């Protein structure tokens, strides 16, 4: 197995231009950019999330504050009795996107799921109906009611399984089931 030592790696990289080291995805030629490249997310840094089971996220909802929001943050440091309800709500919205009751509020997603299920069940029913008409062969004559009645009468006439079977449940004297 080949090993590339750090000195060998340094000598290989020294022979190449430094532009190759600073080349980034954003520096690609337009002909090579057939798809958008998403920026990588550093999962080791705190992230904002709205979750019912963990109502306090790791970082505030808004990191970059406008000038009015910065003034409101300075006003927050004073007595809260001087703040109006709208200002208190605005301060809350700087820290959180949704309140706990908004997170727990029922959504109308069940309607979409139920509608999708009923659509696919209906579509499947149409496919089965189409197959019964155009794909499956006609049912054999042995499944007709008249044929089954004649077959049952023949089995009774031949006294098939007279001890514990079908013929044991037929009264031959009266001509009816026991």
pTM of the model: 0.44
| Fold classified for 45-105 | Cytochrome C Oxidase; Chain D (1.10.442)
Q: Which of 59, 78, 94 minimizes the C-alpha distance to 86?
A: 94
- The DSSP secondary structure of 122-149, one letter per residue, reads HHHHHHHHHHHHHTSPPPPGGGSHHHHH
C-alpha 79 chain-centroid distance: 47
Distances (CA, A) of 6 to 12, 13, 17: 10, 10, 18
The sign of the dihedral angle between the CA atoms of 159, 163, 169, 173 is positive
DSSP for residue 109:
H
Per-residue pLDDT of 60-109, as tens digits, reads 999 899 999 999 999 999 999 999 999 999 999 999 999 888 988 999 99
Measured distance CA(73)–CA(61) in Å, rounded: 14
Per-residue pLDDT of 1-29, as tens digits, reads 345 455 554 555 555 444 444 444 444 44
32 vs 151: which has the higher pLDDT: 151
Per-residue pLDDT of 136-168, as tens digits, reads 998 899 999 999 999 999 999 999 988 888 888
Domain ranges within the chain, ordered by starting residue: 45-105, 107-136, 139-177
């Amino acid at each position: 197995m080949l090993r590339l030592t750090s000195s060998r790696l340094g000598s290989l990289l020294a022979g190449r231009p430094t532009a190759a080291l600073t080349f980034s995805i954003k520096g690609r030629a337009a002909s090579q950019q057939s798809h958008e490249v998403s920026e990588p997310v550093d999962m080791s840094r705190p992230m904002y999330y709205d979750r019912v089971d963990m109502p306090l996220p790791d970082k505030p909802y808004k990191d970059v504050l406008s000038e009015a929001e910065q003034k409101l943050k300075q006003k927050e440091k004073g007595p809260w009795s001087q703040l109006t309800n709208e200002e208190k709500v605005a301060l809350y919205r700087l820290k959180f996107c949704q309140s706990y009751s908004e997170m727990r509020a029922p959504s109308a997603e069940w309607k979409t799921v139920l509608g999708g299920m009923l659509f696919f069940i209906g579509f499947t029913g149409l496919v089965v109906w189409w197959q019964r008409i155009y794909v499956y062969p006609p049912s054999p004559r042995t499944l007709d009611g008249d044929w089954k009645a004649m077959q049952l009468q023949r089995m009774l006439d031949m006294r098939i399984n007279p001890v514990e079977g079908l013929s044991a449940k037929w009264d031959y004297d009266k001509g009816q089931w026991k």
